[in-house]
């Protein structure tokens, strides 16, 4: 593709209109899979718009998985027409999970079940086909890229090995993080950014700064088991809020909780929540912030995989609307760039000074060479194209998995339809016990995550989460089908059991 000359940011209506016109041609069949779109320059001349406008339109279509960019070749149509729901050789359309979750309306002390340790051990076992961890596999990130960055850091900054790390992180890394935060709508001061050992440490530090043992924290339900682990370690109570699998935490339910219970902090994942994969609309994000500002309750926002959202609007953080320092924004690069470097960050708003003091006390600084290597990776021009390719890869994988599930799992199984990421949440027929399914699959060297891991309330006993970030080939697809067969056998056996008199 020819280089794009510098230009002012295109007016949204222009590139959106162009993207809609091209999308309509694809939908009608006038543009078919494999067709090459006009070059950015040619399209700009044809439409009488700037090259920046065309490029933004093409990237919008790329986010929707309608086109793909091929190096030195241009943009090509990639839309695959789905097989009909009936007919020979087709797969049934997956049934969407649409109901709001209904957790208890009282806070609970957190005591994670032992199954969490067993799932994590199995997920890291090389002999297992693992759907248990919500982690990307090494094949998604070129290891040579990170290796070269570390080698350059060691060669050019070897003196860093003789210095003890202090402070909030190297200035260059914090500046690179601030630049990257523009992609999620945030203008951050590098001086207020604190580098951490990952997103989990960022969240833990934020909770320590704004709560005391015995306090109540509101969060989505179901929620990431790691959040529950943090709450348990800090002796905090969990108040699970009803959550919609598509649009995220219920704001009316949260408002009622804030008005009737002593909530000291709210912990949410507005973009691609774990495990549901829900993405809050922008209007709901604004409303969430207003709700908490009115009550002066801190919002701890996990933006770990915002970069993997399929639509640009879904990547915008609640923090981008924050003018009072009410939001404590936490993130990491472990899911999008270099899992092995284990670097995260936090911008804690009004509580930045407290969080920095806690970090200094609890874990100190980091290996400077690793921070230098991460700065190198973030500043490379190929980072944004690599993210787009990763989004497209994951979207294709989720589509394939959802169709395998629809064809293999028991009738009545419902599946989430996240707009990105690499996890799916399944609601199985009530007769299928998630723990029994976990043990049956484990006996066949297949690991999955049962629903009770994701709540402090002993709920979701007929649900499972599937992590699809690891290898995805014939072995893994057959393993997923086998889990479906096991679930079907359990459902059939329950249906055949004699009814009690």
Q: What is the pLDDT of residues 14-51, one digit of tens each?
A: 888 888 888 878 876 778 888 889 988 888 888 888 88
Q: How many Cα atoms are found within 13 Å in the side-chain-facing hemisphere of 234?
A: 24
- Residue 133: partners with Cβ closer than 8 Å, 6 or more residues away: 120, 123, 124, 449, 467, 469, 470
Q: Is 60 exceeded by the pLDDT of residue 87? A: no
198: left (phi over 0), alpha (psi -120 to 50) or beta: left
Handedness of CA 219, 191, 336, 36 (dihedral sign): positive
Residues written for the chain = 501
Distance (Å) of CA 193 to CA 101, 233, 238, 451 = 35, 25, 28, 35
Chain centroid to CA 87: 35
What are the φ and ψ backbone dihedral angles of 332, each rounded to 5 degrees? -165, 170
* C-alpha to C-alpha distance for 182 and 58, rounded to whole angstroms: 20
Q: Is 60 exceeded by the pLDDT of residue 10? A: no
> Is 475 within 8 Å of 158 (Cβ atoms)?
no
Give bridge partners of residue 330 from the DSSP assignment.
Answer: 302, 346
Q: Which residue has the higher pLDDT, 499 or 164?
A: 164
Quick one: tokens of 323? 């003018």
Return the axis-axis angle of helices 143-156 and 368-379, rounded to nearest 10°: 120
> Can you tell me the mean pLDDT for 112-117?
88
Distance (Å) of CA 326 to CA 61, 111, 156, 215, 329 = 34, 29, 40, 19, 10
Quick one: tokens of 430? 């009530």
* C-alpha to C-alpha distance for 134 and 131, rounded to whole angstroms: 8
Q: What is the pLDDT of residue 164?
A: 67
* C-alpha to C-alpha distance for 475 and 473, rounded to whole angstroms: 6
- What's the alpha-carbon Rg for the chain, to the nearest Å? 23
Residue 356: count of CB within 10 angstroms of its CB: 18
Q: What is the pLDDT of residue 494?
A: 84
What are the φ and ψ backbone dihedral angles of 16, each rounded to 5 degrees? -65, -40
Look at residue 347 and give its three-state secondary structure: strand
Burial of 152 (0-12, 13-18, 19+ CB in 10 A): middle
**pLDDT tens digits along 122-143:** 988 989 999 998 887 777 776 7
> Can you tell me the mean pLDDT for 288-314?
95
Which H helix or E strand runs over 354? helix 352-362
**pLDDT tens digits along 289-299:** 999 999 999 99
| Closest-CA residue to 312 (of 387, 399, 401) | 387
* Cα angle, residue 488 at apex, residues 484 and 492 outer, rounded to 5°: 175
* Cα angle, residue 99 at apex, residues 312 and 81 outer, rounded to 5°: 50
Instruction: Identify the residue whose tokens are 């027929």.
Output: 429
**pLDDT tens digits along 245-258:** 999 999 999 999 99
Quick one: tokens of 200? 């989990």
Q: What is the pLDDT of residue 500?
A: 44
Look at residue 437 and give its three-state secondary structure: helix
Q: What is the pLDDT of residue 409?
A: 96
* C-alpha to C-alpha distance for 439 and 23, rounded to whole angstroms: 45
Alpha helices in 169-250 (DSSP H): 171-181, 199-210, 225-233
Quick one: tokens of 143? 């290891």
Q: What is the DSSP letter of 39?
A: P
Q: Considering only the C-alpha atoms of the chain, give the largest distance between any 2 of them, rounded to a whole number of Å.
A: 79
**pLDDT tens digits along 184-228:** 999 999 999 999 999 999 999 999 999 999 999 999 999 999 999
Give bridge partners of residue 68 from the DSSP assignment.
Answer: 76
Which of 38-42, 487-491, 492-496 shows the lowest mean pLDDT across its residues? 492-496
* C-alpha to C-alpha distance for 120 and 2, rounded to whole angstroms: 47
Q: What is the pLDDT of residue 93?
A: 64
> Can you tell me the mean pLDDT for 294-323?
95
Whether omega before 315 lies within 30 degrees of 0, making that bond cis, reads: no
| Closest-CA residue to 446 (of 488, 484, 492, 496) | 484
Structural domains in the chain plus CATH codes: 12-77 (1.10.10.10), 125-139+385-495 (3.90.1150.10), 142-379 (3.40.640.10)
């Amino acid at each position: 593709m020819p280089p794009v000359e510098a230009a002012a940011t295109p007016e949204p209506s222009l590139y959106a209109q162009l993207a809609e016109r091209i999308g309509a041609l694809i939908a009608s069949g006038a543009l078919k899979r494999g067709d090459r779109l006009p070059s950015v320059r040619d399209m700009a001349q044809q439409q009488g718009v700037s090259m920046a406008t065309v490029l933004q339109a093409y990237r919008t279509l790329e986010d929707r998985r309608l086109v793909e960019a091929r190096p030195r070749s241009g943009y090509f149509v990639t839309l695959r027409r789905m097989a009909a729901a009936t007919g020979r050789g087709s797969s049934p359309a997956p049934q969407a999970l649409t109901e709001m979750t209904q957790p208890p309306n009282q806070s609970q002390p957190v005591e994670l079940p032992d199954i969490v340790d067993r799932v994590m051990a199995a997920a890291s076992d090389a002999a297992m086909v693992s759907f248990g961890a919500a982690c990307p596999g090494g094949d998604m990130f070129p290891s040579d890229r990170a290796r070269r960055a570390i080698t350059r850091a060691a060669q050019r900054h070897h003196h860093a090995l003789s210095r003890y790390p202090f402070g909030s992180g190297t200035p260059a890394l914090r500046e690179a993080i601030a630049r990257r935060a523009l992609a999620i709508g945030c203008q951050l001061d590098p001086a207020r950014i604190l580098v951490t050992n990952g997103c989990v440490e960022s969240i833990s530090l934020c909770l320590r700064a704004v709560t005391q043992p015995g306090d109540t924290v509101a969060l989505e339900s179901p929620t990431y088991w790691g959040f529950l682990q943090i709450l348990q370690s800090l002796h905090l109570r969990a108040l699970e809020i009803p959550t919609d699998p598509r649009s995220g935490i219920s704001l009316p339910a949260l408002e009622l909780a804030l008005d009737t219970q002593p909530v000291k902090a709210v912990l949410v994942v507005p973009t691609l929540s774990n495990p549901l994969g829900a993405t809050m609309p922008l209007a709901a994000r604004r409303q969430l912030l207003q709700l908490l500002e009115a009550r002066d309750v801190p919002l701890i926002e996990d933006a770990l995989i915002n970069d993997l959202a399929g639509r640009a609007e879904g990547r915008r953080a609640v923090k981008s609307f924050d003018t009072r320092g009410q939001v404590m924004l936490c993130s990491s690069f472990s899911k999008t760039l270099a899992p092995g470097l284990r670097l995260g960050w936090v911008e804690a708003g009004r509580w930045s000074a407290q969080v920095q003091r806690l970090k200094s006390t609890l874990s100190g600084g980091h290996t400077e060479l690793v921070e230098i290597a991460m700065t190198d990776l973030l500043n490379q021009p190929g980072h944004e194209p690599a993210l787009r390719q990763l989004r497209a890869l994951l979207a294709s994988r989720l589509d394939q998995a959802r169709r395998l599930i629809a064809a293999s799992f028991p009738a009545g199984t419902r599946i989430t339809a996240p707009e990105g990421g690499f996890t799916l949440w399944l609601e199985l027929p009530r007769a299928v016990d998630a723990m029994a399914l976990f043990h049956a699959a484990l006996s066949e060297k297949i690991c999955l995550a049962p629903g009770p891991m994701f709540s402090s309330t002993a709920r979701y006993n007929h649900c499972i989460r599937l992590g699809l970030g690891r290898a995805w080939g014939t072995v893994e697809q057959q393993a997923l089908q086998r889990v479906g067969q096991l679930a079907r056998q359990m459902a059939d056996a329950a249906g055949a059991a004699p009814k009690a008199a």
